[in-house]
Amino acid sequence: MAFWSSTSVFTSKVPRKILFMFTLSLSVTYLFYSLMSCYNSLQFPLQENYVYQGRLVTEETTFVTLREKLYSATQGFTEFTEAEKTTAVSTVKDHAEAEQRTVEWIRTQTSPTKSAAAYHTVALERERQEFSTTDSELRVNSTSDYGEKKLPQAIIIGVKKGGTRALLEALRVHPDVRAVGNEPHFFDRNYEKGLDWYRDLMPSTLEGQITMEKTPSYFVTNHAPKRIHSMARDIKLIIVVRNPVTRAISDYTQTLSKKPEIPTFEVLAFKNRTLGLIDASWSALRIGIYALHLETWMQYFPLSQMHFVSGERLIVDPAGEMAKVQDFLGLKRIVTDKHFYFNKTKGFPCLKKPEDSSTPRCLGKSKGRTHPKIDPDVIRRLHKFYKPFNMMFYQMTGQNFEWELEEDSESRSSQD
Ligand SMILES: Nc1ncnc2c1ncn2[C@@H]1O[C@H](COP(=O)(O)OS(=O)(=O)O)[C@@H](OP(=O)(O)O)[C@H]1O
């Protein structure tokens, strides 16, 4: 009774208008937050599967949190086996050791008597030879010595076997892009040679032209982000990503083509196959943990300076991907579908023959190799291993690359 009477006093004292306004503002706030959460779930439809829920921002503390979440991702994911959890965690911890092991492995596999330095020389020479085919075949915008040599304003930093060569060659069709054909490996192998050495590798550019290079190993080189940042904090970074499982097989296929005696993919992929213990320290597998590598880059560069190209779409819709890349680089959309055709023999899109050239237009033999057949059970286990890292990568980039759909269609066709 007392309550009733005090309420009526309250309602009579406070004008109805104020009460109405108060209720309205509460409803609007509620509506705003509902719409926001709806927007987020539309953008990241898989997010309830993630351990890491928030979008990544550039604060130090957030990266610390992310790393913790990255570790705990292996515990929070029900599909992970105990063995896989251990492997995923050890991937992070054994990073340095893994680098070392990879070098060791390559050294012993390629030539037991050669030093690491000698190995690198051989590898560089091999790269140069491999490259010279594609470079001379595909140089479509004629090289001129006018202008001046500048440090790059944009770099394709990865990923190895993602489709980086195809992207660079398509970009070189653009009259406002000048790129060094070879991979300079400045920020990983040649840093001590200095910025003048690096600049000297670049082609001369005229006013308004962009200087570019591509070295896919930068993406997985720990000190590359810091070094690139100290050269140009406003640089644009392009990363071509591809389903990490296919990428790993492509990587392995490349090594196999040079060293046919290496163990099978299935052998190299596991520390212990019976226990299902995946060897994530094997570089072919480690490179594909994109979220982990991206985290390092995000400590130096905002997402707005990065552009992610889908390696899969670059094959099925090169013009579509090129439109987005040109927009990102602030270039006019000059490279369009008119520049591509699908070459049935090659099985890939190729560049149409430019008027001023009689050279072939497809990439060389080292691009688009036939992959060996891999045990479907191993592929399934690898998809499962990568899934939480892929989810995290989608969250970080705000892009869903839909690699899980590929897995679904693969498993459907293997059941047929
Ligand atoms: N147009 C076109 N032509 C040929 N190949 C193409 C093309 N677009 C993308 N790809 C894919 O590029 C893969 C090689 O990737 P990269 O150029 O990044 O390799 S490398 O890291 O520079 O060695 C290569 O991988 P593999 O198929 O495993 O050889 C191709 O699948």
Q: Are strands 148-149 and 210-214 parallel, antiparallel or unpaired?
A: unpaired
Q: What is the mean pLDDT of the segment spanning 71-80?
A: 33
pLDDT value at residue 96: 33
Q: Is residue 58 part of a domain?
A: no
Q: For residue 272, give the nearest of 40, 105, 81 by alpha carbon.
A: 81
Q: What is the mean pLDDT of the segment spanning 267-283?
A: 95
Say how far apart CA 240 and CA 159 lie, in whole Å.
6
Query: Of the listed 160, 161, 236, 387, which one is catalytic?
Result: 161
Residues sharing a CB contact under 8 Å with residue 411, sequence separation 6 or more, in sequence order: 380
Q: Which residues line ligand 1 (CB under 6 A)?
A: 160-166, 216, 250, 253, 314-315, 348-349, 363, 367-369
Q: How far is the CA of 352 from the centre of ligand 1 (A)?
A: 18
Q: For residue 398, give the nearest of 44, 45, 25, 20 by alpha carbon.
A: 44
Q: Which is more confidently placed, 59 or 326?
A: 326
* Structural domain boundaries, residue 217: 148-248+288-367
Q: Where does residue 260 rank: exposed (0-12), middle (13-18), buried (19+ CB within 10 A)?
A: exposed
Q: How far is the CA of 170 from the centre of ligand 1 (A)?
A: 13
Q: What is the atom index within ligand 1 of the atom nearest the CA of 366?
A: 29
Q: Is residue 123 part of a domain?
A: no
pLDDT value at residue 406: 76
> What is the percent of the chain with per-residue pLDDT over 90, rounded to a whole number?
60
Minimum CA distance residue for ligand 1 atom 28: 250
Say how far apart CA 310 and CA 300 lie, in whole Å.
23
pLDDT value at residue 24: 77
Residue labelled with tokens 């691009």: 367
Q: Is residue 216 part of a domain?
A: yes
How far is Cα of residue 226 from the mean position of the Cα atoms in its chain? 18
Number of H helices, E strands in the chain: 17, 11
Say how far apart CA 246 and CA 159 lie, in whole Å.
12
Q: How crowded is residue 64: how many other Cβ atoms within 10 Å of its Cβ?
A: 10
Annotated binding site: which residue ranges? 161-165, 242, 250, 367-371
How far is Cα of residue 77 from the mean position of the Cα atoms in its chain? 23
Longest C-alpha distance within the chain, in Å? Answer: 97
Which of 140-149, 242-251, 358-367 comes out lowest in average pLDDT?
Answer: 140-149
Q: What is the atom index within ligand 1 of the atom nearest the CA of 159?
A: 18
Which residue among 218, 265, 367, 370 is best mutated to probe the pocket of ligand 1, counting the most ligand atoms within 8 A of its Cβ? Answer: 367
Task: Indicate the pTM of the whole model.
Answer: 0.71
161 catalytically annotated: yes
Q: How does the average pLDDT of the chain come out, rounded?
A: 76
Q: How far is the CA of 167 from the centre of ligand 1 (A)?
A: 9
- Whether the bond between 378 and the residue before it is cis, its omega within 30 degrees of 0, is no
Minimum CA distance residue for ligand 1 atom 19: 161
Query: Is residue 237 within 8 Å of residue 371, measured between CB atoms?
Result: no
Q: What is the atom index within ligand 1 of the atom nearest the CA of 367?
A: 29
- Partners of 309 in the β-ladder: 240
pLDDT value at residue 180: 97
Residue labelled with tokens 């590798």: 201
Q: Is residue 18 part of a domain?
A: no
Q: Is residue 171 part of a domain?
A: yes
For the CA atoms of the chain, what is the radius of gyration? 26
Which residue among 134, 159, 165, 238 is best mutated to probe the pocket of ligand 1, counting the most ligand atoms within 8 A of its Cβ? Answer: 165
pLDDT value at residue 409: 62
pLDDT value at residue 351: 96
Q: What is the atom index within ligand 1 of the atom nearest the CA of 349?
A: 1
31: confidence class by pLDDT, cuts 50, 70, 90: low
pLDDT of residue 288 exceeding 70, the answer is yes
Minimum CA distance residue for ligand 1 atom 23: 161
DSSP 184-241: --TTTTSGGGHHHHHHHHSPEE-TTPEEEEE-GGGGG-TTHHHHHHHH-TT-EEEEEE
ipTM: 0.99
Please give the torsion angle defined by the CA atoms of residues 153, 156, 158 and 160, in that order, rounded to the nearest 10 degrees: -140
Annotated binding site for 3'-phosphoadenylyl sulfate: which residue ranges? 161-165, 242, 250, 367-371
> What is the percent of the chain with per-residue pLDDT over 70, rounded to a whole number?
64
Q: Is residue 163 part of a domain?
A: yes
Residue labelled with tokens 């000059």: 334
Q: What is the atom index within ligand 1 of the atom nearest the CA of 315?
A: 8
Distances (CA, A) of 372 to 179, 287, 327, 381, 416: 33, 20, 37, 17, 21
Query: Is residue 303 within 8 Å of residue 297, measured between CB atoms?
Result: no
Number of separate domains in the chain = 1
CA quadruple 151, 153, 219, 257: dihedral sign: negative
Instruction: Give the H/E segment covering residue 94.
Output: none
Q: How far is the CA of 368 from the centre of ligand 1 (A)?
A: 6
Q: How far is the CA of 163 from the centre of ligand 1 (A)?
A: 4
Please give the torsion angle defined by the CA atoms of residues 205, 233, 96 and 390, in that order, rounded to the nearest 10 degrees: -90
Q: How far is the CA of 168 from the centre of ligand 1 (A)?
A: 11
CATH number at residue 199: 3.40.50.300
Q: Is residue 95 part of a domain?
A: no
Residue labelled with tokens 């953008």: 43
Q: What is the pLDDT of residues 322-340, one digit of tens each?
A: 999 999 999 999 999 999 9
Minimum CA distance residue for ligand 1 atom 11: 163
Q: What is the mean pLDDT of the segment spanning 218-230?
A: 98
Q: What is the pLDDT of residues 110-142, one digit of tens each?
A: 233 333 333 333 444 444 433 333 333 344 344
Minimum CA distance residue for ligand 1 atom 27: 368
Residue labelled with tokens 């980086």: 164
Q: Is residue 131 part of a domain?
A: no
Q: Which is more confidently placed, 320 or 106?
A: 320
